[in-house]
Structure 1
């Protein structure tokens, strides 16, 4: 029922401001152009069944690692456990399901866009692609969609009707954004959700976090590192063209309280602004690489499915 309310409300806004459930459901057809068998599944936004270091019984012994609750006790390596004093499990290489857990940011900070769409709409589109691709591969998908005031947890399941349930939650929360009268500061919102995610996923999940990470801090990376210890984590960073470069000429910039005049040509302001953006991307990419967490940047000013397909093409080379 809530999905129908969202569809009615969204029609009162220009395209790209709010996304409807009907629009999100159409992304089922976009995933047909995405390769099913990427060569580097850990570095792809959408994961599926593939050979991986899974915690279970299989044909080929892969490694020994510290026991994780939920491991099959038949795989405990008693010799290593006795030698180290800490319980260890054997890991086997086996083709097995990789459930996907999607974390979707719908906070007020993402309700911004300078061209075709606001970032919150793009985040919803990426989530829809991830969900439909996962089910197409025969795997389960679930996740959390959140804003500053609430979060909705959707358990993992494997069906188109379940994807519709997940996308309904996303569309409903997306429709709330234009009703906000001001930005509500919530610097801990993302960190709280990552902490909750760490308690919900066990191991061998593919956790895709979709946000603009504008308020990421040390705690953010600590939670991500904790999740990545036993799962594959992927960050999808939503950006807007105006964050990369400001137009030439004089601009009045305001945060709603204070106002400053900006001119790109004065003292190389424009060059420094763009340089700061590129440095942010480089620093974030390098830091994620240190944690073995891949990150991709999605431009809200361009068509989302084409960017995803392009990314898959690069990972397959």
Structure 2
């Protein structure tokens, strides 16, 4: 065993085998929506995924049972016989996964770190898209580096994507510090806009640390011509701090250990964490990007299944 590599326990660090094995757990899951998807925190926001488009196939004589809406009136009048247009559904569409492995993701108070939950969501999303017949690729980003994986429909490409996630995941450590480039998420969104063009499915898997007004503009730009889903990964501590104990709060190179049982610490810190989560959800609501809230304290697949059930209108 390479002692320089972190132990992949599945909770602090993920393993490639762990991500690849998730293929067999996504049966029956789909990103295609029949009903609007309501954001958990936004409440009044609803959006519908476009799904695949239709390509014109051929013009042929009308046959009993054909959909009258597909009658081609111009051709029918010209030839004196009814003609219909037939269409085929697009065979696939590219899926891009934006997978956050920055230092802000290297934290977890229950079950797993945000970085590991993000890795699991990336794998689950990749396998769902793959089994729908879509090409899969993505952008895996840390504080300093972004790795691009061009979309292809193959298990080898998904393995390459998961391997990129694992490399970024294993580069995280307690001695690391947040990047000085606070606009890293915005830079990744710009890269995605350039790569996606239109008619892609884009899944952004992140804690959305460092969002700005520019982030809102970029999300709207990306969402204008693509289907975009935001998977906001959060730690349960953001909703409810423990009543006692010590936690370490980091900001760049600064690390401060706090006693959360202190009244002077508990209320302000709790307000800050929950307030930040609401602010991010509000930004996503304004961008009209469907939002999934994924907690590190629960199984990622179970939560994704619930959220996709919300998207399709079918309880899962």
2:34 aligned to which of 30, 34, 39: 39
Q: How far apart are residue 117 of structure 1 and its match?
A: 1.1
1:95 aligned to which of 83, 89, 94: 89
Q: After superposing the two structures, state which structure 1 stretch, 284-293 or 194-203, moved more.
A: 284-293
1:266 paired residue number = 263
1:228 to 2:239 alignment? no
1:106 to 2:101 alignment? yes
Residues 284-295 of structure 1 aligned to structure 2 (within 5 Å)? 284-295=280-291
Q: Given that residues 53 and 94 in structure 1 are in contact (C-alpha distance below 8 angstroms), is that contact kept between their aligned partners in structure 2?
A: no
1:152 to 2:163 alignment? no
Residues 195-274 of structure 1 aligned to structure 2 (within 5 Å)? 195-249=190-244, 251=246, 253-255=248-250, 257=254, 259=256, 261-263=258-260, 266=263, 270=266, 273-274=269-270
SS at match of 2:89: strand
Q: How far apart are residue 287 of structure 1 and its match?
A: 3.5
What CA distance in whole angstroms lies between the structure 2 residues aligned with 1:146 and 1:190? 8
2:112 paired residue number = 117
1:133 paired residue number = 128
1:142 to 2:137 alignment? yes
SS at match of 2:281: helix
What CA distance in whole angstroms lies between the structure 2 residues aligned with 1:41 and 1:99? 22
Q: How far apart are residue 262 of structure 1 and its match?
A: 4.5
1:72 paired residue number = none
2:302 paired residue number = 306
Q: Which runs of 5+ in 2 are unaligned?
A: 40-48, 59-86
Q: What TM-score, normalized to structure 2? A: 0.75
In the TM superposition, what whole-angstrom CA distance separates every residue of 1:92-130 from its partner, at most 9, and x where no partner exists?
x97323321111111111111112211111111100011
Mark the CA change 1:250 to 1:113 in structure 2 (over 3 Å): closer, same or farther: closer
What CA distance in whole angstroms lies between the structure 2 residues aligned with 1:259 and 1:183? 14
What CA distance in whole angstroms lies between the structure 2 residues aligned with 1:137 and 1:239? 28
Q: How far apart are residue 279 of structure 1 and its match?
A: 4.4
Q: After superposing the two structures, state which structure 1 stretch, 221-230 or 128-137, moved more.
A: 221-230
Mark the CA change 1:225 to 1:213 in structure 2 (over 3 Å): closer, same or farther: same
What CA distance in whole angstroms lies between the structure 1 residues aligned with 2:200 and 2:140? 17
Mark the CA change 1:253 to 1:145 in structure 2 (over 3 Å): closer, same or farther: closer
SS at match of 1:24: helix
Q: Given that residues 212 and 239 in structure 1 are in contact (C-alpha distance below 8 angstroms), is that contact kept between their aligned partners in structure 2?
A: yes
What CA distance in whole angstroms lies between the structure 1 residues aligned with 2:95 and 2:135? 6
What CA distance in whole angstroms lies between the structure 2 residues aligned with 1:164 and 1:191? 26
Q: What TM-score, normalized to structure 1? A: 0.75
Q: How far apart are residue 308 of structure 1 and its match?
A: 0.7
Q: How far apart are residue 220 of structure 1 and its match?
A: 1.2
Q: How far apart are residue 28 of structure 1 and its match?
A: 0.1
Q: How far apart are residue 249 of structure 1 and its match?
A: 3.0
Runs of 4+ in structure 1 deviating by more than 6 angstroms, as ranges, are 41-44
SS at match of 1:284: helix
SS at match of 1:26: helix
Q: How far apart are residue 42 of structure 1 and its match?
A: 7.0
Provide the alpha-carbon RMSD of the alignment: 3.2
